[in-house]
Each structure stands twice: as structure tokens, then as C-alpha cells.
Chain A
Amino acid sequence: MLPEEMGKVSRRFRKIFAASSVIFVAVLAVSPVRDYLRSWKRYERAYVRFAQSRPDTKRLLADFRLEISQIWIPKMDVVDRCTTCHQGITEPSLQDSSVPQPFRAHPPIPHRVRDWGCVICHRGQGLATEVRDAHETTLAWEQPILPVQYIQASCAECHREDLPQTPRLNRGRELLAGLNCVGCHRLQGIERPAMLGPDLTNVGSKVSRQWIYKWLKDPRTILASDGSMVVNGYEDEGEPRMPKFRLSESELVALSSYLSTLQKEKPQPYKFDPRVVAAWEKRPDLLEQGETRFRQMFCITCHSLAVIRAGETRLIGGDIGPELTKVASKVNPDWLVAWLRNPQAYLPHAEMPRYQWSDQDLFTVTRYIESKLTDASLLTDVPNLGTPTPAEVQLGRRLFLEKGCGSCHAIQGVAPQADYGPDLSSLGGKTVSQLEFGKAKIPHTLVAYIEAKVTDPLSVNAAARMPQYSLKSSDLTALTTALLSMSGSPATAGLESLILPAERPQFRPAGAFGELYERYKCYVCHRFNGYGGTLAPDLSFEGSRAQRKWIAEFLKNPQTLRPTLIFRMPQFNIPMEEASVLADYLSMVMQTPNVNLAGTETKSFTPDMVNLGKQLYAVKYQCQACHTIGSTGGYVGPDLSNVGNWMNAAWIEEWLKDPQLLVPDAIEPRRSFTDEERTALTAYLMTLKQSGAVQAPGGTGRGQ
């Protein structure tokens, strides 16, 4: 090769070499540049600049290092790198809403962020260090951040008990249990109850085929704006538990035909005492008297009625039992009398108490119901159905099972249906790829799926068998929260050990008291050692609080004790012997170890103590702000006019020491009384006695 040729080649090589060196350097530089430009590093550098602009720079940067920071919770198998960008999350001085995100401190919560991390409550990807990966659904990361309105679902991860801090979750759980979702679905922490919908074994003896048809077509009727009412069942706070099934005309005919043939035995007409009938039948005030008794027995504590107030039709009353505005057009009159006399004979699981009826009361009240709580035009729009044909009955029987009716309603001889719907006990932990969205135009996330499904079951699956519930938007949010909380069995043993299980106490006393407790259904409204309703006062410590004599008097003649409360205790007409059995048991058994009844000697109270107590009550502590004595005072606490006949002195003394120790959710604040003051106040209160304290029953149903 010639030298000049050599030079040419080497020049060309040199050029190639130079170019490839530049490319090589550039490629080498990609990695450090990318590393430098990582979004978490940008946020960290921004945090440094931000901290330098704050007065407490030194404190804010005390633990700062330019690296990924993470919280590791081995027990829960969780690694959170959120604090890499959310640098100020635990800095109390960065709480202000003017602090830019992602540096703002977390608002105060009961758990320390350093101990629990972020994703346990907020979900999202703790390991991710890119904004989108951490917060949203991307290809590799499936679990997005939980919207804050549903965040209470995360509390249930460990807290299986209802917490006062999570009202939305508690309401959702209440709805899941109350609407009997467990009839069809398996749900975490909610047991399938023994009592579902009404037993239909004998339903043909209670209601007509026309009524069944109408009810099945639409079990909830919207109250028209002009106040006209169409069916039993209104849109109101207390949802009718029966949802709407999308039934065709032939299905309605078949089901109504099948159900109307379910007549095990016809109720025998009750034979009223002829003297009562003769005396009352012709009296002009018969219906008036019936209505008065109906009110005095406080039926509306559990049942509601539509009334017109100021031109507006509203439902008033409770939601434990069904709404009764047109009940006489629904049920057979003989059935009604039999039911009132003994509800459990027709429906063993009925929550309705067995009243002690006199013939006169029963006659006037049933007459009132039959002539006033009725609507002749209720069933006029039902087509002529005729008598059930065997073909209709057979189809109806098949439909009963196909539509899943047996999940809520029992019929003797028909096997109960369980697990008719899918298992939802781990719904809240499902990933997007496990969900079927159909043609729904909604974001493909778990939250949107649950929202759509509970709002309209057909929206995500046109062939869904689930019936239509119509819930208020706040209840939809609550229900979605509760469903999101169903995260299935814990993934690690460590997590399992963190769970605080829900306690489900039972209180089923035996003996004579137990019988009466069942008869009058005390537990539907009152709570006993954690079991029972919350409508009325907790009676777990009634024996420590009230004197036996007072309890017996009260049971015979209930009256209001607390001016601000709507009085709701029905008058059961309890006979003397039963009242003393109840009073004996309550006063002997339902006691708290915190009150020593023998410890306070009322005889040792002197007039000086009483005078001091009176002064303390009226001047120093101004108890009259909340309590009434005689005719003056506040409405918040109970009326104390007769407290000397009502409460035990030892209870009052203990109460004044610490009200919340005896009744955890008591409103009364704990004051710092000296021992002398406490004794003086007790001595004064024990002198407050009304002679002939028994007032006329009823009449004080405030707000009703």
C-alpha cells in the first residue's frame, strides 16, 4: 500500500474513531443523566429549597439525605417509599394547607406514620418511586390509591369491631347486614342470620294474590309529589329490605299464584267478648278510642305511618317493623287479630312483642286499623288474576328458586338456598384483571366497579341476577366502603396477629325472666351486656342505677325520664306479677362492680349536707344548665325531680366521680368534685322526691 493511501485510510479510521468515541461517551452519560433526572430526586431537591425558605430549616433538614427513604413493616409485609417524596409528612410545622404538596404534613390521626407507613390505609404501591406508578393503575402496578371518601374501608383491615371514628364504614356494615346481603353472598365478618325475610309457609292466609302481585312488581313505591300514595312501602330513611326484581308479566302471575296457594292453616276468627262488642260497636267514639290506644301503645316506636303535616306527606315513626299506612288493605282482618294477639304463632322469629291485650283494646284498635289505615283503591290497578291454575303454580315454584327468593324467605319443605350470589368476602382485595366490566363506560378500577354494581347491577353485567336496590347516595358510599373493606383472609401470619376481632356477645337469660324477656322483646330496643338494640337505654347496669321499687312501677306505667328524648317505650299492660319478676332480675343481676350499693348510707346524710348540696347544684356547678328539677332547668340530662325515688345513692356518688366509667358514652362531663362536695350533692339529690310520682301514661310522646 502506498503511504498516501495509508494516510487516507488512517484519516478515515480516525474520523470513525472520533465519532464512535462521542457516541460512546453519550451512551455512558445516559445512565447518570437519567438517574439525575429521576422524579423522586427532583422532589427531594425541591424539598431542600422549600425547607430553606422556611424559618425552621434546620429542623426540617435534620434527617434529610438525598436517597430513597422507606418504611418497612415486616409484620404486614409492607415496604413504603412514599416518604421519599412526601418528606414533610411527619413535620408538625408543615400542617398548614398553604404548604405545597407533596411536602405537607399528614393531618393528625391516631396512628403514627413512622410506625404504619402509608399504603396500609391509602393503598397504592409503596415500592414505586414514580408518581404515576405509586398513585394510579399502570400496567405493572394494579392497586391505585383509595379515594379518601372510602378510606374508612382500610380501618377494617385490622379493626373488625365498629369504631366511633368510622361512621361511614359502620353504616355500610349495618346496611350489608340489614339488607341481608349475606342471604346470597358470602361476606367477611357478617354471619348469615337465623332470621332472614319473613317465612312464607303460610303467606296465603295473610295477604291476597292481588297484593302479592303488586308487591312483587314494585316493593317500594315512590310517594307522588301530590301526596297520593300507592302501595305499602315508601321511599324514606328506612329502606324496605325487599329489593325490586325485574319480573315479567307472566313471572308475576306465576309467582303470585304460587305464593297465594301457600296456606297451611287459615286463622280462626277470634271471638271477642260479646259484651265488649255490644258496648263498643255502636259508640260514636269507637275509632277515636282505637286511635288513642294505638298511640298510647306506642306502635309507632317501631312502625311508621304517613301523615300530612303542613301540606307535606311524611312518614313518621320507627323502622324496626313495616310501615302501616295502608296495612288494612294488605292483610286479612282475621289474620290481623291473630297476629296482634300472638305474632310468634305466625312467624316464630318475629321481633314484635306479645302485648297483654284486653278485649276492649283489641277490639277498638283493630277497628281503628281496619277503617283508618286502609285504601280501597290500593289494588285497583292489578289485572284480574282469577284463581291459580296448576301450571301457574308449578312455574311459580320453579321461579321462586330460580330468582333466588329462597335466599331470604323460607318455605317449609323448600330447601333454603345458600351462596346464590358470588362470594364477596375478598372483593376489596381484587385486582382489575379479576373484574368483568362488560360494556359499562366507567373507569376500569375496583372502586368504580363496586359503585356501578350497587347502583345498577345490570350496568356491568346485563345478565346479572341481582335485584335492584335503590339507595341514597350517602348509603351507596357507605355500602361501597364496607365492600372495599372485605379484603379476605390476611396474607401473612403477622397480619393475622394484628387483627382486633369483633366481639359478638349474646344475652339469652333463662327462667321466668328469660320468658318475659322473649315475650316483650326487651332486647329489640334495649341493650344487655353488649347484646341488643340501641334505641332505648342500655340496661346492663340498671340494677345498680335504679331502685327495685321504681323499676316495678315504671314497667307497669312507663313515662319519660329525659326531656330531650322522644319517649318510645310501649305500654305492654304488664301485670303486677310479671313486673316484679322483671324488676327482681334487673335489680339483682344487672349490676356493675363499680358501684357498691351497700357502701353509701343514706341515713348518714345531714340537713347541712343537703343545704350545701343545694348550693353547689344551683350556684357553683350550675347543674340546672342541663337538668330539670320541678319546672325549671335544662333539657339535656334526665329530669331529677323524682331522683330520690328513682336512683340508688351509691350510683349517684359513683356517677359524680366518673360518669363515663359507668356509661361510656354519657354526655355529662366529669367534674373535679371534692369528696365532701360529692356527698353533699348526693344527699341533696336523694331528698328530691315527688309524691304520687306516677303520672298519666303516654301523652308525652314528644316530637311524634
Chain B
Amino acid sequence: MKARLLVALLLLACAGIAASCRQKLAAAKADPLSRAYDTEQDWNDPRRVISLSYQQAQGKRVFYQYCVWCHADATPAGPSNRSNLNPMPPLANDGAVFNSLSDDLLRNIITLGGSAVGKSALMPPWGNTLKQDDINAVISFYRAIAQPFYQPPARPGPQYSVR
């Protein structure tokens, strides 16, 4: 009788200790925008707000300084240069154009200019002006605002989850 009680007590103690070791892992789920470094309004749907990471936010900054003039229909100064060019440059959020181009190709177009990859020479080379980080950031910004959405190419290797 006594022995049984002792064993039960021991088991309880062990269970208690084990339980105290487990901490609550689920953190409060916050508003997704409060976890964003910056945001950008969807160009096609003004009600949708896209949250941007640090890199995408830097891309947004570079885009609105250098690229917006020819790759958007509305610019900070009002009129856009886009309709003025022939061939007309694609809109930055045009997923139909950009989603099929790899990051490497986009990097080359931006760095070396359109003529280096057999596209229009109206696209100047930015390799001397922008840092490699800036160019990568701009690409990540394009990916973030793409319509239809951009799906990154699948990576090799099985995916694993902690839980």
C-alpha cells in the first residue's frame, strides 16, 4: 500500500517536472503588417497592402528613385516616361513578363543594360551606379509586387518542420 503510494507520488513529481520544462511555444499572432518593415499598396488593387521585408523595402526605395520613371504609369512627379518609349517598357508589377525571367537574367539586364542581353538599348546599364545589393533588392521588390503572384522555383531537398 505504502509502496504503491510512494511510486504514485514519484510519478506525479516526474510528470510535474517534465511539464514545467515545456514552455508555451505559440507566440501571439500579431497583425501581419506590424511584422513588416515597410508596405506597398498593390498597384492593381488599392485595398490590398503588401508587406515588405527589409530587402524588399530597400528595393522599393531604389525603385522609386531610379526605375519608377519608365516602369510605372504614375510617378512621384506625376507624368510617366513610359508611354513615350518604343518599345514600351513593362510595368514593374507585370508578372506575366517578369515571373518567367530568372533572378540571374534580371540581374544581368539591370547591370549591363538592355542591349547586352538583346533587348532594347533604351534600358541603360545600372551596374556602375547601383550596388549589387541594391540590384538584388530591386529584384526582390519586383517579385513582391508581381501580379499574377511570383512563385519562386522549387528548391531541391525535402522540407522539414520542427513540430
Query: Is the beta-carbon distance between A132 and B23 smaller than 8 angstroms?
Result: yes
Chain B residue nearest to A16 (CB atoms) is B2
Q: Counting CB contacts under 8 A, is B99 at the interface?
A: no
Q: Counting CB contacts under 8 A, is A391 at the interface?
A: no
Q: Counting CB contacts under 8 A, is A277 at the interface?
A: no
Query: Is the beta-carbon distance between A564 and B78 smaller than 8 angstroms?
Result: yes
The contact of A50 among B17, B24, B152, B160, by CB within 8 Å, is B160
Q: Counting CB contacts under 8 A, is B158 at the interface?
A: yes
Alpha-carbon distance between A43 and B14 when the two chains are bound, in angstroms = 22
Alpha-carbon distance between A686 and B77 when the two chains are bound, in angstroms = 28
Q: Which of B61-86 contact A (CB under 8 A)?
A: 61, 65-66, 69-70, 75, 77-81, 84-85
Interface hit among A323-331, A486-494, A595-603, A669-677: A669-677
Q: Which of A237-287 contact B (CB under 8 A)?
A: none
Query: Is the beta-carbon distance between A34 and B133 smaller than 8 angstroms?
Result: no
Interface hit among A147-155, A219-227, A337-345, A500-508: A147-155
Q: Which residues of B contact A625 (CB under 8 A)?
A: 70, 81, 85, 122, 124
Chain A residue nearest to B7 (CB atoms) is A22
Using a Cβ–Cβ cut-off of 8 Å, how many residues does chain A contribute to the interface with B?
Answer: 63
Interface string of A48-83 (1 = CB under 8 A from B): 011001110000000000000000000000000000
Chain B residue nearest to A38 (CB atoms) is B21
Chain B residue nearest to A20 (CB atoms) is B6
Query: Is the beta-carbon distance between B128 and A672 smaller than 8 angstroms?
Result: yes
Interface string of B126-163 (1 = CB under 8 A from A): 10110001001100000000000000100111111110
Query: Is the beta-carbon distance between A564 and B125 smaller than 8 angstroms?
Result: no
Using a Cβ–Cβ cut-off of 8 Å, how many residues does chain B contribute to the interface with A?
Answer: 57
Distance of B24 from chain A, by nearest CB (Å): 7
Chain A residue nearest to B85 (CB atoms) is A625
Q: Which residues of B contact A107 (CB under 8 A)?
A: 53-55
Q: Counting CB contacts under 8 A, is B58 at the interface?
A: yes
Q: Decide: A53 near B160, CB < 8 A? Known: A23-B6, A96-B155, A671-B125.
A: yes
Chain B residue nearest to A52 (CB atoms) is B160
Distance of B117 from chain A, by nearest CB (Å): 15
Q: Decide: A636 near B157, CB < 8 A? Known: A148-B34, A148-B37.
A: no
Query: Is the beta-carbon distance between A147 and B35 smaller than 8 angstroms?
Result: yes
Distance of B76 from chain A, by nearest CB (Å): 9
| Selected A-B contacts with CB under 8 Å, 30 pairs | A19-B6, A33-B17, A33-B18, A50-B162, A53-B159, A98-B155, A100-B161, A100-B162, A108-B54, A108-B133, A108-B136, A110-B133, A132-B23, A136-B27, A148-B35, A149-B33, A566-B77, A622-B121, A622-B124, A634-B84, A636-B81, A659-B129, A667-B65, A667-B69, A669-B66, A669-B124, A669-B125, A671-B124, A671-B128, A672-B128
Q: What is the interface of chain A, defined by CB distance below 8 A to chain B?
A: 15, 19, 22-23, 26, 30, 33-34, 37-39, 43, 46, 49-50, 53-55, 96, 98, 100, 103, 107-110, 130-132, 135-136, 147-149, 151-152, 164-165, 167-168, 563-566, 620-622, 625-626, 633-636, 659-660, 665, 667, 669-672, 702-703
